[in-house]
A and B are shown apart, each in its own frame.
Chain A
Amino acid sequence: QVQLQQWGAGLLKPSETLSLTCAVYGGSFNAYYWSWIRQPPGKGLEWIGEINHSGSTTYNPSLKSRVTISLGTSKNQFSLKLSSVTAADTAVYYCASLEGEADYWGQGTLVTVSS
């Protein structure tokens, strides 16, 4: 049974860098692309970007200038960095796979940007 566990800072000040990490347990990290998705409070979902096991990435064009998704320092982990955050980046951030039956989601991390 594949499980995703994510962690990172939940409270940031404007202009700081958001940093989250997601660990994949119990399954083949190499088999899928791994995405970051966010959801502002009371609003819809936004796809941020994805990475595969070899480090190949694709980003949402609207966030590309501020986003970096990379493989983690430990095996079967990947990370999200979003620079120069503002209040508009306040959201629940999810790591996930979008691969049909391989529907795996982290527990979500609420990141609040406030001065």
Chain B
Amino acid sequence: QAVVTQEPSLTVSPGGTVTLTCGSSTGPVTSGHYPYWFQQKPGQAPRTLIYDTNNKPSWTPARFSGSLLGGRAALTLSGALPEDEADYYCLLSYSGARYVFGPGTKVTVL
């Protein structure tokens, strides 16, 4: 089964920019993996931030954006706020296995 990789943790200053990435053991991540990004805060269920690489649900703030970068899916947070401190999970789609989550990135705003 494919393994999805993410940075374990990242720190960003308030108002700063940080990019989280999501890789696949099978090769470059493409739009055909339909990358998702979820945000999860303590004690809460995850919530979709980005789907299908760069599409945003209506509740996703404009400071979040999704893209493909260097063979990986990327989530960029521009203008970080204290409330953005959370765990972020990517999800990739594979034929057969359907979905595989990454291990998550803990983002600290400090």
Contacts and interface: CB of A to CB of B under 8 A. Distances in A.
Q: Is the interface of A mostly helix, strand, loop or mixed?
A: strand
A58 interface: yes
Task: Tell which of A37, A103, A106, A107 has the most Cβ of chain B within 10 Å.
Answer: A103
Interface stretch (B46-54, B63-71, B72-80): B46-54
Contacts of A60: 1, 97-99
Interface string B78-108: 0000000000010100001111111110000
Q: Is the interface of B mostly helix, strand, loop or mixed?
A: strand
Contacts of B89: 44-45
Contacts of A45: 38, 40, 46, 89, 91, 101, 104
Interface string A35-47: 1010000001111
B55 interface: yes
B45 interface: yes
Interface of B: 1, 36, 38, 40, 45-48, 51-52, 55, 57-58, 89, 91, 96-104
9 contacts: A35-B99, A45-B89, A45-B91, A60-B98, A60-B99, A62-B1, A96-B45, A98-B48, A98-B99
Interface of A: 35, 37, 44-47, 49-50, 58, 60-62, 94, 96, 98, 100-101, 103, 105-108
